[in-house]
């Protein structure tokens, strides 16, 4: 016997980061997480629905070498990015967020990250016919410095928490919060949002509609993942306000600065051939604009005070919501059929 207190799985922990495997859903302590899970289910999509038929023609006939280079690098990042996020979900978030309704959301998110991996794999197979080149895309994490730098940023925040069996001390809980913020605000909220900007820039030029169509769904998913993570941060802050001190805020600022630098280096790499209408400076401004939005969600003052230079991204939010609700009618009916069948089986 180690003598360590083993928390009951029936009693709810006093705080969401208290160690254990709580199994009790009634009474539900965090109904907002359950609602987020239900909302995510309504947003179900499949890779097979995405039509890539015009994309290959665009790549071969309509795009310049510089644009093809941009797309190739983007795919190289996408090919591994979601796997890194999924890894953090399994190794850190699921382990330490001790509320069954929140773990339901994380299970759903894990499925969505796998769907994203499948989407980008299909993209890679469609865009890159040569097996050798495909292999090189997956090796980008090691071979392409700007992508390696982003992966190293994520891995450092992942490693910082992974070795902790339980969150016992103030320092451990702060490390967990920083991991959560790094993945939500930086990996999903800056690296992915930065990548989406290139996709929508190309769409605004009438290019790669298949990629843009799939990205609409990924964009929607990533926005929900961030909302969940920030809701967990808010919950922890309410339960343990003493964790949120000036030092932690300074770490958040430093983390955002570093993520913007990483992503700017990626932009220099992507745009090295020169693409009219898209500059590294504007990408950086867009990232700073996004970072201020993440800070606002965390209840912190803006740090960069930059305007969104990409009008095509401002439209994106509106368009995405419209697409989502237009699509709901058929998707919802599929859900109903499934539920009825399930009830009958039981
Ligand atoms: Fe994802
Ligand atoms: Fe995500």
* 206-238 confidence digits (pLDDT tens): 999 999 999 999 999 999 999 999 999 999 999
CA of 14 to the centre of ligand 1 (A): 31
Ligand at shortest distance from the CA of 189: 2
- Asked whether residue 23 is assigned to any structural domain, the reply reads no
Instruction: Output helix, strand, coil percentages for the chain, rounded to the nearest 5.
Output: 75, 0, 25
- Asked whether residue 212 is assigned to any structural domain, the reply reads yes
Ligand at shortest distance from the CA of 119: 1
- Asked whether residue 223 is assigned to any structural domain, the reply reads yes
CA of 111 to the centre of ligand 2 (A): 10
| Number of domains observed in the structure of the chain | 1
- Asked whether residue 28 is assigned to any structural domain, the reply reads no
Catalytic residue among 30, 37, 120, 286: 120
Q: What is the pLDDT of residue 204?
A: 93
Provide the CATH number for the domain around residue 87.
1.10.620.20
CA of 218 to the centre of ligand 1 (A): 7
pLDDT band at 341 (very low <50, low <70, confident <90, very high): very low
CA of 187 to the centre of ligand 2 (A): 8
The environment of the single-atom ion ligand 1, i.e. residues with CB closer than 5 A, is: 82, 113, 116
Print the domain residue range for 61: 52-284
According to DSSP, residue 278 is labeled B
Percentage of residues in the chain having pLDDT higher than 90: 80
The answer to whether residues 228 and 36 touch, using CB atoms and an 8 Å cutoff, is yes
What's the longest Cα–Cα distance across the chain? 69
- For Cα atoms 273, 81, 78, give the angle at the middle one, nearest 5 degrees: 45
> pLDDT tens for residues 164-174?
999 999 999 99
Beta bridge partners of 275: 278
CA of 198 to the centre of ligand 2 (A): 18
Least confident of 51-55, 255-259, 320-324: 320-324
Look up 120 and say whether it is catalytic: yes
- Distance, CA of 40 to CA of 30 (rounded, Å): 16
Buried b (16+ CB within 10 A) or exposed e, 176-203: bbbbbbbbbbbbbbbbbbbbbbbbbbbb
């Amino acid at each position: 016997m180690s003598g360590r207190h083993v928390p009951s799985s029936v009693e709810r922990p006093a705080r969401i980061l208290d160690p254990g495997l709580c199994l009790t859903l009634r009474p539900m302590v965090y109904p907002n997480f359950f609602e987020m899970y239900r909302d995510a289910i309504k947003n179900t999509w499949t890779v097979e629905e995405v039509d890539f038929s015009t994309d290959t023609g665009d790549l071969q006939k309509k795009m310049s070498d510089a644009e093809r280079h941009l797309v190739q690098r983007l795919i190289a990042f996408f090919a591994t990015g979601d796997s890194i996020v999924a890894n953090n979900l399994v190794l850190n978030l699921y382990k330490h967020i001790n509320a069954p309704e929140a773990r339901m959301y994380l299970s759903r998110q894990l499925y969505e990250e796998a769907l994203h991996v499948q989407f980008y794999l299909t993209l890679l197979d469609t865009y890159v016919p040569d097996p050798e080149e495909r292999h090189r895309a997956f090796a980008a994490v090691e071979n392409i410095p700007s992508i390696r730098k982003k992966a190293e940023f994520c891995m450092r925040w992942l490693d910082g928490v992974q070795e902790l069996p339980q969150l016992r001390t103030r320092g451990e809980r702060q490390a967990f919060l920083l991991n959560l913020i790094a993945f939500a605000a930086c990996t999903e909220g800056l690296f992915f949002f930065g990548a989406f900007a290139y996709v929508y820039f190309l769409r605004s030029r009438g290019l790669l509609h298949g990629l843009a169509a799939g990205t609409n769904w990924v964009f929607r998913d990533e926005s929900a993942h961030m909302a969940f993570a920030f809701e967990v941060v808010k919950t922890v802050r309410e339960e343990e306000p003493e964790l949120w001190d000036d030092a932690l805020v300074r770490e958040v600022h430093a983390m955002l600065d570093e993520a913007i630098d990483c992503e700017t280096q990626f932009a220099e790499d992507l745009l090295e051939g020169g693409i009219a209408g898209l500059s590294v400076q504007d990408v950086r401004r867009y990232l700073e604009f996004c970072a201020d939005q993440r800070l606002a969600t965390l209840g912190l003052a803006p740090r960069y005070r930059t305007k969104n230079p990409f009008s095509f991204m401002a439209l994106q939010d509106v368009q995405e919501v419209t697409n989502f609700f237009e699509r709901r009618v058929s998707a919802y009916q599929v859900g109903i059929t499934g539920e009825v069948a399930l009830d009958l089986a039981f």
